[in-house]
Structure 1
Amino acid sequence: MCQSKIEQIKLLRDRFYEIRKSNLYAISEEKVRSGFLNKLLEILGWDLSDITEVVEEKHIQGIARDRLREISSIHVKPDYILCKNGVPRIYLDAKNITEDFVNSKEAAFQIRSYAWSTNLPISLISNFEYFGIYNTTFKPNPNQAPDYKAIFFTIDDLIDNYSLYGPFMEKESVQEYKWPSHLILNEALNNSGNKTLDEDFFELLDNFRLQLGEALLHQMSGNFQKLNYYVQIIINRILFIRILEDLELETKGRLLNCLHSDNFWKKFTIDSVQDYEKKYDGALFSEILPRFNIDNRFFEEFITSITIESPYKFDVIPTNFISEIYDLYLGRELIIESGQLKIVNKPLSPEGAVPTPYYLAESLVRETLDLSELKKEEDLLNISVLDPCVGSGTFLIAALEVFSERLKEIRKSTSLNYEDIKRITTKCLYAIDLDPTAIEVLKMTISLKLLTGRYHIKEPLERILSDLAENFKYGNTIVQNDADIPIAEKNNQIPTDISILFPTMKDRKFDYIVTNPPYIEPKHFKKNWPETWKYLKGKYSFTDKVDISMFFLKRFFELVQPNGRVSVIVQKRFFRTEYGKLMRNYIVNSNGLNRVIDFKSNKLFKHKLTYIAGIFLDFSKVNEFVTYDINSFEVNSTYTNFDECFSTINIERRIKLLNSELENKIWSAEFFAIQNLVASKIKENRLTPLKNIKRINIGVGPQVLDSKFYFLSNAKDIGSEVISAVNRRKELVEVEKDVTRKVYRNEQVPQYIDFEQQGSLIVFPYTESGEFIRKDIMDVQYPKTLEYLKFMDKHSTCARVDDPDAFYRYTRETKLDSYNRPKIFIPMTILSVVAVFKEGDYFGDNSNINTIMDKYDDINYLKGLCCIFNSPIFNDFALCYAGEASGGYHKLNKQFLENVPIPNLSQENIDYFVDIFDKITATRLSLIGAFGSKKEYLENELNTYIYTCNNYIAQLYDLSDEDLEILRSVVND
């Protein structure tokens, strides 16, 4: 097959050289395209008549073409976009045979900018005689050498070395990103230092936001909500006009002309009132802003960056990309900190916002919206879709696309006009968000979606965005009008009546709900709005441990039509925890659950580790069965294969379950595989989950205020009462020995017993019985420690308790009197389970270590448990119940560990374990310092004891060979 292609390319080359020899100027750029590149692409497997494979950008019609003529513009977008299922893979630009693009900085910058702006890793230029392949994973600039991270070859090179150069244009290779292992490209493509478009553009917006904030700060009278809001509106308006310049809906250079005037903001404001507001109206320009006085210097860097020789090509940057960028942006805000204006993550998102990738949102929307039965336009336009926590609008952008496709099918048409798209938006799409800035962002992204679709718009442009935002409302989906909360909290939480927000929906509910509700840990919400938190728990009947997304999820059942559908992205933590059982059962008993997609990959969200699933509810039918799909498809490092992640062919495993099988059960593929064997053993009274053994307590150690200061290592006595040690800030400190305690951290736990005393120390300002030591007593008895804690108070950024005399108090004061009790420690983040037994004098780190104690402090019983916890069979069960973590690790926090079953132990079993535990630990002690033959003998002896112990434990679990095979296959999968 390859040889046949080469022979066809040879014939095409010979024809090219024949024409070139007779008349060089006969081969125009159009001839290069139509006569040679088109034919070459066809030889390489591309169907030029299929626009899901090849898009030829020269074919521009309508307003865009007219505007190009008006400004005497030569269209510069690359001539071909080579695609897979309509998703761009590579740009290919055709050049005239007389043009020396190989040495052209301008040509290289142009093609790099377009590909970088679309997140494509490489792009091509060709005049058929020569080919250039450009790496486009880094931010381009016009001064880069044309051959920087690029390779060039001729048509003869392609024929002579097809295996090296052919894959850069061959259909199958391009669509699957199967590039050859070429040194230059590999080195460049794998360079982790390259800035992607989203990283660079986010940084640009952040910097501009800070500059505008500084310009407006003194004009806002300290109102930071207003400051953030107006800064956002200004950014939206400027960016909107800049994008329209590249779309030729506005004259190119208009923003730059404003910058070159005496006062950019004054000139831009005049243009907004006299021109933009009349053209585009409501969504972005209707609100009259205060008379701000803003100097040109605050705009110069941003306007220059997006106009003069800019690498940002807004005519190809997708709207969904802008939406994802803004989702990150919405997780941050302007504040004054230490007398300086800064941008920080919002209090409820201390780690920053996590934008929903468009392809993930689109897959959920397409799975949910079933419009196929709608045969009339009026029926389609009567359908309602709500995103109740909309952010920047990713789900609604995807929904708009699905509605547009269906309307074309109903009309049996290949295109729609602008008014059709606007009608869908204003009649079918609804949104709520508690962040007013998010609503402004949504207005912009939806406006861009309408204007970037190249729909026919009647001219002159007049109020084309009017009424667009009527269904996009500021409000709170979960805090309703019955909330009796203090006025200070009410002003931030806005009790909301949905029927008042949307008068057209007063007597009906929504047909579809699609969203990714916010995941906010309870501690962050409780700290800021304690009374609202109490209201939410009571309103939705939840415990103190659930995150905010659970309130949203329960609320959706009240908002959707009796025959409607809901799809949501959720964090999977509640799938496996005891506190999540209420929500799981609520979903099951609704009779709407019909599918769960368990995404095993934790790289789906850029910049964040996330463990998510998609939940699909369909109330239009009785769902006797639930499909539980496992999707473990891995995105590549550049996220260019994202569109493939949610294809049905990438479902690794599909489990079909009776709906009733999910009630009171953990939701995970591993548990579904082993639940029957565990249930039968529990029924036979052979096994019991740890949480059901009343004498066992699984907890954690002290939760200190700031671990960077409280945790100490490398302790040395420097007197009878004082030690020196190093804190986690690498500072040498001195504290009194009596107010320190030994503590295990995650990486320090050995198996069975610890002879080397590997723990760290924590500063412990409490008595042996766990009573807080007051400041006046500390001052007398432990002055060095108090001095150090005052140093901590000055430099730590963690929140303190309200009492200034108790600033060093722990954030959680539970079981502080348990230091001397016997315990077993098991790390929470594991590759495999490791357990160590200590008779006393140790705490476990609150954030890293499970602490297991016995109600009766029975040392023998705890030794038996330690043996079981270190056994392979317990490890396999634990991995089935554990949560997900990155890098092959698992989370074995209490909520996962407590579900793991262990054998019910008789006194005879305990006596056996005590004997074998003591033999194992005695042999380990003997091994310290052993060498030669004696060391070899002791190691064999130790292995025999452990092997014998593990076999004994396996007999207590009483699993058949078939059961063991099931368990091992689940763990090794």
Structure 2
Amino acid sequence: MSQIKDSIKKLVDRFKEDEARLTVKSSTYQETEVRVEFIDPLFKLLGWQMDNASGLSSSLRDVLREESQQTESSTKKPDYTFRIATKRKFFLEAKRPSVDIRISKESAFQVRSYGYTAGHDIAVLTNFRTLRIYDARLQPKAGDAADVGLLVSIDYEDYVSKADYILKTLGRDQVASGSIEETFKSTSSGDIPANASFLNRINSWRVRISQDLVSRHPQLTINELSDLTQKIINRIIFIRMCEDRGIEGEYVLRDVAQKKSMLELRALFKRLDDRYNTGLFDVSKDRLQDNYELDCNVFIDIVDEVYAPNSPYSFGVLDADFLGQVYELFLGQQLILKSDGSIALEIKPAYVHREIVTTPQPIVDEVVDRVFKSKFYDMKSSGLLTLDSINSLHVFDIAVGSSRFLLKAFDELIEAAIECLISQGDYKHLYRVAENNYKLDFAVKKDVLRNCLFGCDIDFNAVEIARFSLMVRLLEDETKDTLPPVNHKKILPDLDNNIFYGNTVVDSEEFSTTSEDVLNKTVPFNWVLSGLPNNFDVIIGNPPYIKTEEMISDNQEEMDYFKRHYRTAYKQFDKYFVFIETALSKAKSDAWIGMVVPNKWITIGSGKKLREILSKGGFVSQLVDFGNEKIFDGKSAYVCLLILSKDGVTDFHYRYVNDYQRFLLSPQELGFSLPTDLIRNVGGNAWVLPNDQEEAFVLGRLTKNSTPLSELIDVKNGIQTSANDVFLIEDYSINGDYIDFVKDDISWSIERSITRPYVSKSSGVISYLPINADALMIFPYEMSERGTPAPIDPEVMRSDYPQAMIYLEHYKGRLNKRKVSPPPKPGVFYAYGRHQALDAVFSYPKIIYSVNQKGGKYALDSIGVAYASGGTAGEVALFNPVKGYSLEFLLGLLNHRAIEFYVRKRGSPFGGGWYARGSAVISEVPVPNLNILGSQKDKAIHDDISTNVKALMTNRQSMKTSSGRAYDKLLLKDRSLLNSLEVKFNSIWGFTDEIRDLRLPGENEN
């Protein structure tokens, strides 16, 4: 550190010697000079590679300079972009020392706009004389003073004394370790993030433009209004981005808007169509060009909102990734025309069952990066990585949305082309922008976009947005100097033959219906007539996650099609299953596939056929499982990154992520290498995968010489009344032979003998304590002549349980609305919704456990308590152990940390470290094989554990009624009994200290 301070002092002294000349307003000392002589050396001392001495490609460099630093052209982009592992962390804007940035409102607004638009935490402004760090989360507003949003301001004379702070905050290694987030986490402004703010602004434009158009042209349909409005908004954004990049002149759009002439506006669109040929300004497709008019005052009001000081956004920084995130949310809503003629926004039907969120950019980047690394490695190994071979790759986004995956794919292709040309010494398609920094000619980039990138989406608006976003990306690094001359026409490709409107997973050749409504909802796609390539080299995307019941509700015909055409459409499958199957069918023999999908397919029963396909083909190359980490803001979808090789692999990598923030520090880590035979041997059964060697050891010991729990005990789900609000009594009092309670503000008294004890709240299920029956369940059943439960006859109900019958008849309307299976006899309106478990639910002794838990919720029932099961909630019970195993032994087993580890690996994750372990999961718990009935040694081991559990249960009961030193004494005994139990099971499995050090899924690192 002393060397860094010494070097900083030399910079400071040198600046101080010449300060008077450098800071005078009339100084000729330029921004370029202060960057080279002072700013670059300062940040180099902080660990940043300012000159790219290592010769890294632009995709890997820490610091990106704005090209205007070399050309002095007028672009409105930040001077420096500081990055970690390709992720932008902050912008720095440099000014001449003669600009007093301490009072310059314009300079502060500029750098804050850059940071705010990019969604950064901070933005840095410096002229070396002063270093200022701003809160980029605070939305810039017109007229803000220079100190608004200011977090830190340091004068150059204090650089040495505050060197520790500067290094801690802005040092390269420190930023990589999260210093910015840690230092400024408590200073959040509370403002709406830029992407959400921009979406709000766009949605306002949608409504205002549509309202004006429909008032002038009432014959327009809502779809026509939506399409026309979106095109106008895209044009505004496109022109502003071109302006701030120096591609178009400044204020081109505003100058035309202020003329308040549709003729002038149409002339501008015609000129831009001639120049760019994007389809965005296509006169032949543009009904605004000749059929419809927009109020010029509405238009100019909106245009004013995209220029400072009315806009907090920098359109020079606002890139395709930002737009992709905004438009991803945009696509969840649609315009509607209300009965009073007003326009409003509502959630699209396809999104009703889904939360509208955006995929985090690091997840998009990581999926695409992993796929292309694999593909390029294959090509390089075969000597086929050339510009021509790159240009012939076919990349397909299977559910393109706003095209964010294709945007990243485009970046990967461009970087690969640059590296390939440099390695071959071929510079004719490259131009130099800085030392060791080259970029690809625009014409070659254009060819890559047109030849390589394809996508499809069922949402027409998504298709338009995807095409638009790709055009924006193509122009992103370009300036007027790097584009073809102004007299060149049609400089951008038409992407109509790249991005298609249709349903990727429904082929029109095989989908037949006479319903126009079904066709409009399904949008079957004709692969042959589309002209899309037959197969692809790379397939990527984030397909829709839609459950079976939602698919049936939304579109039964599409659901029937899936059942007929897809192996993975099995039981309660999710829609993303068929997208994975489609990707495999559309992939070339040496293709790579990368997707973001929920992780439940790894273990759930309905994922059996998908697992069979993936394991049999050996397709899984990488699997990054985020467990119960919430990746999507506000959305309870637990996902994984799935990387597939169509050629098959002999080994694959599995990485389990306990902490998403830690993952972001090293996202590229592959994880634990496993032989493909491991999952090939398991096939369609649930995959329980180790994350490291320690986990592999534990799982191996648990499953070796074991028997699944379901072979040793009955596993039964609970009752299902389909009307717990009627049958369940939670707050009651016992009044002799009657139960008194209040339901819906009415007092009731029914026969006690028709009720049964019931566990309503999972809080009543605690390991090593008796089950707590916290409610009663009305049970209108009796044993039939066949020895099975049957509903009590209505006449018997009226004679033997008249008060209960009066109560049930009060709710007859509610009960008759249920679907009851099997259908009961006439008059038996009070039968439960399902007949399941009625023969066993009240029997005892048994173990009752909560399905969704963190562990420690397995209780012994010795009085016959009823319970209910439902999906990932409620309780399940274990009855009638065989082969000499006792309930106490199995209770101890289920509470062991090693078994909790197994159950979490096998079960389904939920938020907060909760894991569901339904009957299918618990059935597979490995029980150590003990010959209890035939071996005295094994019987002694078993009985010793059972005795230990009984002692533990007795002690826990005593603890409930103890206090003071008596409680402390029992607590010590409890710990001793638990430790003894752990040691005894560990001895069976051959564990020593492995289990105590084992981190369970859902437990974050300390």
TM category (shorter chain) comes to: 0.7 to 0.9
Instruction: Show the counterpart of 2:55.
Output: none
Show the counterpart of 2:9: 7
Task: Sort the Cα spacing of 1:319 and 1:416 in 2 relative to 1 into closer, same or farther, 3 A.
Answer: same
> What letter matches 1:401 in structure 2?
D
Match of 1:131 in 2: 131
- Contact 2:876/2:919 (8 A) holds in 1: no
Q: What SS does the corresponding residue of 1:134 show, helix, strand or coil?
A: strand
Asked if 1:623 is matched to 2:649, the reply is: yes
AA partner of residue 438 (structure 1): A
Asked if 2 retains the 8 angstrom alpha-carbon contact of 1:603 and 1:635, the reply is no
The offset of 1:700, in angstroms, is: 5.5
Q: 1:863 to 1:463 in 2, by over 3 A?
A: same
Q: Which residue of 2 aligns with 1:961?
A: 991
Query: d(CA) in 1 for partners of 2:815 and 2:191?
Result: 38
For 1:672-821, list aligned pairs within 5 A.
684=705, 687-693=706-712, 696-699=714-717, 702=720, 723-724=741-742, 742-754=758-770, 757=773, 759=774, 815=837, 820-821=842-843
Distance verdict in 2 for CA 1:96–1:425, change over 3 Å: closer
2:558 to 520, 527, 532: 532
When residues 961 and 920 of structure 1 are mapped into structure 2, their CA distance, relative to the original with a 3 A threshold, is closer
**Are 1:830 and 2:857 matched, yes or no?**
no
The answer as to whether partners of 1:258 and 1:267 remain within 8 angstroms in 2 is no
User: Paired residue for 1:502?
Assistant: 531
Q: 1:21 to 1:969 in 2, by over 3 A?
A: closer
List runs of 5+ in structure 2 lacking aligned partners: 53-57, 431-437, 783-788, 818-826, 934-938
1:122 shift after superposition: 1.8
Q: Identity percentage over the alignment? A: 19
- 8 Å contact kept, 1:397–1:446: yes
User: Which residue number in structure 2 is paired with residue 584 of structure 1?
Assistant: 611
Residues 667-711 of structure 1 deviation map (CA, whole Å, 9 limit, x = unaligned): 422598666776777674xx3223445x5234365485899x999
User: Which of residues 352, 372, 375 in structure 2 aligns to 1:366?
Assistant: 372
Separation in 2, partners of 1:202, 1:959: 57
Residue 608 in 1 paired to residue 655 in 2?
no
2:902 matched to which residue of 1? 877
Q: Retained in 1: the 8 A contact 2:566–2:581?
A: yes
Shift of 1:331: 3.4
Q: Which moved more, 1:808-817 or 1:438-447?
A: 808-817
- Residues 453 and 130 from structure 1, CA distance in 2 versus in 1: closer, same or farther, beyond 3 angstroms? closer
Which residue number in structure 1 is paired with residue 398 of structure 2?
A: 388
CA distance in 1, matches of 2:218, 2:793: 45
Structural mapping, 1:252-263, within 5 Å: 252-256=250-254
Q: One-letter code of the match for 1:406?
A: A
Of residues 669-678 and 402-411 in structure 1, the stretch that sits farther from structure 2 once superposed is: 669-678
C-alpha contact (below 8 Å) 1:601/1:634 kept by paired residues? no
Cα distance in 2 for partners of 1:848, 1:474 equals 40
The separation in 2 between residues aligned to 1:808 and 1:344, in whole angstroms, is 39
Indicate whether 1:482 and 2:480 are aligned: no
Give the conservation status (yes or no) of the 8 Å contact 2:781–2:790: yes
CA gap of 1:364–1:866, structure 2 versus 1, over 3 A, is same
| Local SS of the residue matching 1:663 | helix
2:732–2:739: 8 Å Cα contact kept in structure 1? no
Counterpart of 1:959 in structure 2: which amino acid?
A: W
Q: Are the aligned partners of 1:125 and 1:132 in contact in 2 as well (CA < 8 Å)?
A: yes
SS in 2 for 1:364: helix
- Change in CA separation of 1:859 and 1:554 when aligned onto 2, cut-off 3 Å: same
* 1:452 and 2:476 are equivalent in the alignment: yes
1:519-559 per-residue CA deviation (whole Å, 9 max, x = no partner) reads: 22222112222343233134222321221111111222221
CA contact (8 A) 2:592 2:646 kept: yes
Amino acid at match of 1:196: P
Which residue does the alignment assign to 1:419?
A: 443
Look up the equivalent residue of 1:689 and give its one-letter code.
P
Aligned match of 1:25 in 27, 44, 51? 27
Is residue 328 from structure 1 mapped to residue 329 from structure 2 by the alignment?
yes
Listed as ranges, the matches of 1:535-546 within 5 Å are 535-542=561-568, 543-546=570-573
The size of the alignment, in residue pairs, is: 921
Deviation for aligned residue 1:41: 3.8
Letter in 2 for 1:626: F
Superposition CA RMSD, Å: 4.8
Deviation at 1:345, TM superposition (A): 6.0
Q: Which residue of 2 aligns with 1:669?
A: 690
Residues 565-597 of structure 1 show CA distances to partners (whole Å, capped at 9, x for unaligned) of: 223333221222343243223212224443333
The answer on whether the counterparts of 1:391 and 1:433 sit within 8 Å (CA) in structure 2 is yes
1:205 Cα deviation (Å)?
Answer: 3.2
Between the aligned partners of 2:721 and 2:307, the Cα distance in structure 1 is 52
Deviation at 1:292, TM superposition (A): 5.6
Separation in structure 1 between the aligned mates of residue 659 and residue 166 of structure 2, nearest angstrom? 28
Q: Mean alpha-carbon deviation: is it higher for 2-11 or for 782-791? A: 782-791
1:750-785, CA deviations, whole angstroms, 9 ceiling, x for partnerless residues?
A: 22444654x4689x89878697999xx999988888
Q: Distance in 1 between matches of 2:104 and 2:727?
A: 60
Query: 1:156: Cα distance to partner?
Result: 1.0
Inter-partner Cα distance in structure 2 for 1:854 and 1:10 = 79
Q: Hey, what's the Cα distance between the residues in 2 that align with 1:882 and 1:238?
A: 50
Amino acid at match of 1:595: Q
Give the 3 Å change call, closer, same or farther, for CA 825–513 of structure 1 in structure 2.
same
Contact 1:594 1:626 in 2 (8 A): yes
Please give the residue correspondences for 1:202-221 in structure 2 after superposition, counting only pairs within 5 Å.
202-211=199-208
1:59 aligns with 2:56: no
Per the alignment, in what secondary structure is the counterpart of residue 525 of structure 2?
coil
Query: Does residue 523 in structure 1 map to residue 539 in structure 2?
Result: no
Are residues 422 and 124 of structure 1, via their aligned partners in 2, closer, same or farther at CA, if it must alter by over 3 Å? same
The equivalent position to 1:547 in structure 2, one of 563, 570, 574, is 574
Cα distance change on mapping 1:439 and 1:920 into 2, 3 Å: same
Give the C-alpha shift of residue 15 in structure 1.
2.6
Higher alpha-carbon deviation: 870-879 or 414-423: 870-879
Distance 1:195 1:157, change over 3 A: same
Write the distance in 1 (CA, Å) between the matches of 2:529 and 2:394.
16
Deviation at residue 960 of structure 1 after TM alignment: 1.4
1:899 matched to 2:924: yes
Inter-CA distance 949–207: structure 2 relative to 1 (3 Å threshold): same
SS of 2:243's equivalent?
helix
Cα 1:35–1:556 change in 2 (3 A) is: closer
Q: Structure 1 residue 170: deviation in Å?
A: 4.4
CA contact (8 A) 1:79 1:92 kept: yes
**1:437, 1:164 → 2: CA distance?**
48
Measured at CA, do residues 810 and 276 of structure 1 come closer, stay the same or move farther in structure 2, by a change above 3 Å?
farther
CA-CA distance at 1:388 after TM superposition: 1.7
SS of equivalent to 2:280: helix
CA distance in 2 between partners of 1:272 and 1:740 (Å): 79
Match of 1:239 in 2: 237
Deviations 1:879-936 (A, max 9, x none): 4433444444434344433332124675779988887776655555555444456555
Change (3 A) 1:766 1:248: farther
Matches within 5 A, 1:116-155: 116-150=116-150, 151-155=152-156
CA contact (8 A) 2:719 2:834 kept: no
Cα pair 1:824 1:835 within 8 Å, conserved: yes
Q: Is 2:55 aligned against 1:36?
A: no
Change (3 A) 1:42 1:564: closer
Q: What's 2:585 paired with? A: 558
CA distance in 2, matches of 1:843, 1:491: 45
8 Å contact from structure 1 (residues 220, 226) kept in 2: no
SS in 2 for 1:470: coil
In 2, the alpha carbon distance for the partners of 1:579 and 1:139 equals 47
8 Å contact kept, 1:746–1:848: no
The reply on whether 1:890 has 2:908 as its aligned counterpart is no
C-alpha distance in structure 2 between counterparts of 1:863 and 1:364, whole Å: 49
Alignment-derived partner of residue 201 in structure 1? 198
SS at match of 1:427: helix
Q: Which residue of 2 aligns with 1:344?
A: 347
In structure 2, what is the equivalent of residue 802 of structure 1? none
Q: Deviations over 1:764-814 (max 9, x none)?
A: 89878697999xx999988888989999999xxxxxxxxxx9999999885
